[in-house]
Amino acid sequence: VPSQNLRIPGPTPLPDAIREAGTRQMVNHRGPEFKKLLYRLSRDLRTPFGTDGEILILTASGTGGLEAAIVTFLSPGDHVLSVSIGVFGDRLASIATTYGADVVKPAIEWGSAADPDLVRDEIRAMAAASGAPKAVLLTFNETSTGVTNPIADLVAVVHEEAPDALLIVDAISGLGALPFDMEDWGLDVVVTGSQKSWMIPPGLAMVAVSDRAWAAAEQATMPRFYFDLVRHRESLAKGQTPWTPALGLCFQLDVALELIAAEGYERIFARHAACGAATRAGLAALGFDLFADSAHASNTVTSARMPADVEWSPFSAALRERGLVLAGGQGALSGRIFRMGHLGHVKVDDIVAALAVLEDVSPSLGIPIETGVAEAAARKAAERVVGTSSQLSAMAASA
C-alpha cells in the first residue's frame, strides 16, 4: 500500500511510535504486567472524559461500547428518549429498541444539531403520555453528518425536565479531540473508541460510568454477558478484564496516552479546531457546498454535498488514485455527501495536501472548481483559530 492521506473519520493514521508499539510481544493478561498497564490506562483516560471514576476498556469496536451502555443500565420496557441527529444516533436507538426499550425518537433534520427546546418539548410530552424518560440517548459528535451537538445545553434541559433520567452519550468520534467534561455536565455513561482521536487501530471501546448509573445497573434487567460493565468493573478492581483483552491495542493505547500527555489536551483541542476550520474554509474556497449547519460544524469531520451530477464511486476512485482517501455518505446520505476526517494524528498540512488533490482532480471529473485559493483560505482560517501562525507551526511540528 503506497502512502495515503487517510482522511476518513477513523481509523486515523498511526504515528510512528504507535506503529512501533504494534510489535510488542504478548504477556499474560492475568499477570502483573497487564495489571499495571490496565490501571495506568484507566487512570490516564480520566482527564479527557472529565471524571474521577474508573474507565472500562472493552475489546470491541465503538458500537460494542454503545451496546454495553444500553444493556448494563436499562430494562425492557424502559421509556427512552433518543436525540438522534444521524446514522450513529439512529444506531444507538436501534440497540435500545433491540433489547426491548420503548424508544421515542423525534425527527431532526440531518446536518443540524439537536435543539434544546425540542428536547424539552419531547420530555414534557413523554412525561404527560407515559412518564418521564428513564434515559436520554445523546450523540456528542455525529460522525455521519459532521455535526457536534451543544451537549452542555442539551444536558441542562434534561437535568431540569427529567432529573432522574440517565444521560447516555455516544462520544466516540469527539472525545479526546474536543473539550469534554463528563462530571461538570452531569453525564452518566460515556463511550469512545480507539480508532478516533486516540490514534490507534480499531478494536477497543472505552466507557466511563457515573455513580448513579452504577446504582441503576443493579436494577437493570436487559440480558448482558460480554458487554456487562458490572463484570468489567469487578475485574478492573483486580487489574483484569473479564474476557481476554486485545493486548496489542492496550500497548498501543499506552503509547498514545504518552504522546497525548506530551502534547497536552489544550493544544490537541486547538489543533483540531485549526484543522476543522482549515477544512471548512478550504472546501468552501474550492466551491464545495458544506453540509453541516455552520454553527455546529464538527472539528473532527467535515461533510460537504456531492457536486451535481457526480457519483461518489468515480469521485472516490479518482482521489484514491492520487493517494487521498475520503469517506462517503452513510444511510440516507449515501451518494449525497462526502466526508473528510480530521481527527487524531492530523495537522493542517494534511488538510492542505488533501485540498490540493481535490483541486487537481476535480476538473477531470467535471466539477467546477475555484483554483489557486484553497490553500491560502485554509491556512488563514487555521491561523485565525490559533491566533498566530507561529503557534500553529509549533503545533503542526509537534503533531
Task: Work out which of 77, 124, 215, 223 binds its own copies, going by CB under 8 A.
Answer: 223
Which range, of 148-156, 162-170, 216-224, 301-309, touches its own copies by CB under 8 A? 216-224
Using CB under 8 A as the binding rule, whether residue 327 contacts its own copies is answered as yes
Specify the residue, 162 or 326, whose C-beta has the smaller distance to its own copies. 326
Contact 325, 5 (CB under 8 A): yes
Specify the residue, 25 or 364, whose C-beta has the smaller distance to its own copies. 25
Question: 6-38 in b/e burial notation, b at 16+ Cβ within 10 A?
Answer: bbbbbbbbbbeebeebeeeeeeebeeeebbebb
What is the closest distance, in whole angstroms, from the C-beta atom of residue 83 to its own copies in the complex?
A: 19
Cell 483541542, located at residue: 269
Find residue 193's DSSP bridge partners: 205
Inter-helix orientation angle 62-71/87-98, to 10°: 40
What is the closest distance, in whole angstroms, from the C-beta atom of residue 351 to its own copies in the complex?
A: 17
Q: How many CB atoms lie within 10 A of CB 384?
A: 13
Using CB under 8 A as the binding rule, whether residue 288 contacts its own copies is answered as no
Using CB under 8 A as the binding rule, whether residue 12 contacts its own copies is answered as yes
Would strands 204-209 and 301-305 be described as parallel, antiparallel, or unpaired? Answer: unpaired
Nearest-angstrom CA–CA distance, 85 and 368: 31
What is the closest distance, in whole angstroms, from the C-beta atom of residue 1 to its own copies in the complex?
A: 6
Binding mask 100-129 for its own copies (x = CB under 8 A): x-----------------------------
Task: Work out which of 38, 57, 69, 95 binds its own copies, going by CB under 8 A.
Answer: 95
Using CB under 8 A as the binding rule, whether residue 20 contacts its own copies is answered as yes
List Cβ neighbours of 357 (8 Å cut-off, separation of 6 or more): 5, 319, 322, 323, 324
Task: Work out which of 130, 221, 244, 390 binds its own copies, going by CB under 8 A.
Answer: 244
Task: Work out which of 40, 46, 53, 63 binds its own copies, going by CB under 8 A.
Answer: 63
Q: How many CB atoms lie within 10 A of CB 106?
A: 15
Closest CA to 192 of 344, 388, 310: 344
Q: In which region does residue 75 sit, left (phi positive, over 0), alpha (psi from -120 to 50) or beta (all else)?
A: beta
Task: Work out which of 22, 186, 307, 335 binds its own copies, going by CB under 8 A.
Answer: 22
Find residue 138's DSSP bridge partners: 83, 169
Using CB under 8 A as the binding rule, whether residue 29 contacts its own copies is answered as yes
Which range, of 46-54, 98-106, 147-155, 266-274, touches its own copies by CB under 8 A? 98-106
Using CB under 8 A as the binding rule, whether residue 233 contacts its own copies is answered as no
Using CB under 8 A as the binding rule, whether residue 67 contacts its own copies is answered as yes
Provide φ and ψ at 56, rounded to 5°. Answer: -95, 140
Binding mask 32-61 for its own copies (x = CB under 8 A): xx-------------------------xxx
Specify the residue, 7 or 296, whose C-beta has the smaller distance to its own copies. 7
Cell 474476557, located at residue: 243
Q: How many CB atoms lie within 10 A of CB 230?
A: 17
Task: Work out which of 156, 273, 325, 365 binds its own copies, going by CB under 8 A.
Answer: 325
Find residue 340's DSSP bridge partners: 302
Cell 490537541, located at residue: 268
Specify the residue, 26 or 237, whose C-beta has the smaller distance to its own copies. 26
Task: Work out which of 14, 190, 257, 318 binds its own copies, going by CB under 8 A.
Answer: 14
Size of residue set near its own copies by CB under 8 A? 61
Query: Interface residues with its own copies (CB under 8 A)?
Result: 1, 3-4, 6, 8, 10-14, 19-33, 59-64, 67, 94-95, 98-100, 193, 195, 201-203, 222-227, 242-249, 252, 320, 325, 327-328
